[in-house]
């Protein structure tokens, strides 16, 4: 199916799963052609309220069904997701303009996350005994209660993987979800949701809405017991403030200006190949994409030449198969953003080593992957997030200089270090202020490690997805403690006075034996 041949029947079938009764629609544009892809029904604030009401009813039954039932449903959904991958891949490409290979990364990530939480949720959330305040006299147990209904706000750039990385742990923990999908990714999300409904997730347990952020996004935040947001730092800050005003928690994955360091002992070809992949994945429209490269002077010329040569060999175009390396930017707004940053840099003295211009012969939003040198602080692309296939190369003399430059940013989402020594790479990684650091890889090592937490420092976000941390954000920990009856706890001043010598002896003894 060509990217422009999305049938009205398929669109109607998918959007029938959307909670949208306003009667209003929005035109969604196909990135490969710039032509209308489909008309999207939009939700109203009442649709969001109704979705929350139904989700709260469904959540109680889902919670009570227990972890074994949830595990079985999610594992079945895992298999169905893989079986239905081709249709989802078509939709992902049609809505985003990314290549088939980059779209498959989303399916791989979604399946991995689903399997991980299906298998690990019961273990992570099982009730555990904890040490009581007075050994043998007091016992304590900690259990976990699902928060209720989770509000998830998903961006357009990685609609399937970023959706499932939040929705699945929420469901695995016994919650319901009301999700606001970006208009440009609604069909991909609805298509990837279907395997879960077919596997046994009640439709009301995972509702999807769409519409303007000011109305629908705010309504999702206002109704949630916990909020997950992925997007810009500016919007995420407002989402966090809005949730906090209700004392609702939030996890926010926000912007990044991600650095890559090439140390002087790195394999030049390996580093160049890894850097290119990290810069152009999904046309750089990935929160963890690399936008700054710091290479030590001893190998700078060789690395730069290898990088440029690889960029110039990339195959760009629209294709619903694996024949292309890079696709299109997703929208006119993205094209304007990237073009403006390149034009600004060139006007102020930057040198274009590769790319630097649009490719209207391929499609309206195609832009060449671009490598710049001589980028200075007065240029917009020096510190501002591009969110496109643009990278600046900076030559540094020392490892310390590279680390200092990498950390000189208001962001701290992802970073990368290429080196011939893993131990050296780890030492450098420990000095970088970023939520994830990859050694001899651009982003996929950490991004694919779903047992490890993912998130940002500084203005790149709050909280963590993936790993046990990504599950525990969706539950409230509760302590149930009891007295064993071996000793009556004091209830008056006189009773306490009698026990003070014993309690002091106990405290000193516990310290002496290193007892927690």
Which are the catalytic amino acids?
253, 287
CA distance 202 to 176: 10
The DSSP bridge pattern shows strands 36-41 and 128-130 to be unpaired
Q: How far is CA 145 from CA 138, 201, 243, 477, in A?
A: 23, 19, 20, 7
* Cβ-proximal residues to 408 (8 Å cutoff; 6+ apart), any chain: none
* Cβ-proximal residues to 81 (8 Å cutoff; 6+ apart), any chain: 88, 107, 110, 111, 114, 192, 195, 196
Nearest in space to 34 (alpha carbons), one of 324, 333, 322: 333
Residue written as tokens 């671009």? 370
Tokens at residue 333, please?
């707004």
Pair 442, 260: CB distance under 8 Å: yes
How deeply is 146 buried, as exposed, middle or buried, from its count of CB atoms within 10 A (0-12, 13-18, 19+)? Answer: buried
Indicate if the alpha-carbon torsion angle 279, 291, 109, 94 is positive or negative.
Answer: negative
Nearest in space to 354 (alpha carbons), one of 304, 315, 316: 304
Find residue 296's DSSP bridge partners.
Answer: 396
CA distance 112 to 504: 51
Instruction: Round the CA-based radius of gyration of the chain to a whole number and report it.
Output: 26
């Amino acid at each position: 199916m060509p990217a422009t041949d999305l049938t009205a029947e398929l669109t109607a079938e998918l959007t029938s799963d959307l909670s949208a009764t306003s009667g209003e629609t929005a035109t969604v544009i196909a990135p490969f052609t710039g032509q209308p892809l489909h008309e999207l029904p939009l939700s109203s604030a009442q649709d969001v309220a109704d979705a929350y009401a139904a989700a709260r009813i469904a959540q109680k039954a889902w919670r009570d069904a227990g972890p074994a039932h949830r595990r079985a449903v999610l594992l079945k959904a895992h298999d169905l997701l893989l079986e239905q991958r081709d249709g989802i891949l078509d939709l992902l490409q049609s809505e985003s303009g990314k290549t088939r290979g980059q779209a498959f990364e989303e399916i791989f990530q979604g399946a991995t996350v689903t399997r991980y939480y299906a298998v690990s949720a019961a273990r992570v959330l099982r009730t555990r005994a904890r040490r009581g305040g007075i050994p043998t006299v007091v016992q304590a147990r900690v259990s976990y209660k699902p928060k209720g209904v989770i509000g998830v706000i998903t961006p357009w750039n990685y609609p399937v993987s970023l959706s499932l990385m939040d929705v699945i742990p929420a469901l695995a923990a016994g919650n319901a979800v009301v999700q606001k999908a970006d208009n440009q990714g609604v069909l991909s999300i609805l298509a990837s949701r279907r395997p879960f409904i077919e596997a046994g997730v009640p439709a009301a347990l995972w509702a999807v809405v769409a519409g303007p952020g000011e109305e629908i996004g705010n309504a999702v935040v206002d109704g949630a017991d916990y909020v997950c947001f992925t997007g810009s730092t500016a919007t995420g800050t407002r989402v966090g403030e809005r949730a906090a005003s209700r004392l609702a928690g939030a996890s926010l994955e926000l912007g990044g200006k991600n650095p890559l360091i090439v140390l002087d002992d790195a394999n030049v070809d390996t580093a160049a190949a890894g850097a290119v992949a990290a810069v152009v994945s999904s046309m750089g429209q990935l929160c963890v994409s690399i936008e700054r490269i710091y290479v030590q002077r001893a190998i700078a010329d060789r690395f730069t030449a290898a990088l440029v040569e690889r960029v110039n060999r990339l195959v760009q175009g629209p294709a619903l198969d694996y024949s292309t390396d890079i696709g299109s930017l997703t929208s006119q707004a993205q094209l304007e953003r990237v073009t403006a940053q390149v034009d600004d840099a060139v006007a102020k003295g930057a040198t274009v080593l590769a790319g630097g211009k649009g490719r209207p012969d391929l499609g309206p939003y195609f832009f060449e992957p671009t490598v710049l040198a001589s980028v200075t602080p007065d240029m917009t692309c020096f510190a501002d997030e591009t969110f496109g296939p643009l990278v600046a190369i900076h030559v540094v003399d020392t490892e310390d200089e590279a680390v200092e430059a990498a950390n000189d940013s208001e962001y701290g989402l992802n970073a990368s270090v290429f080196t011939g020594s893993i131990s050296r790479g780890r030492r450098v990684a420990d000095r970088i202020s970023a939520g994830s650091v990859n050694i001899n890889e651009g982003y996929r090592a950490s991004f694919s490690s779903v047992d490890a937490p993912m998130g940002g420092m500084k203005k790149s976000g709050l909280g963590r997805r993936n790993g046990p941390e990504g599950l525990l954000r969706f539950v409230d920990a509760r302590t149930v403690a009891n007295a064993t009856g071996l000793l009556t706890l004091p209830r008056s001043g006189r009773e306490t006075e009698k026990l003070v010598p014993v309690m002091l002896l106990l405290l000193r003894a516990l310290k002496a034996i290193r007892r927690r």
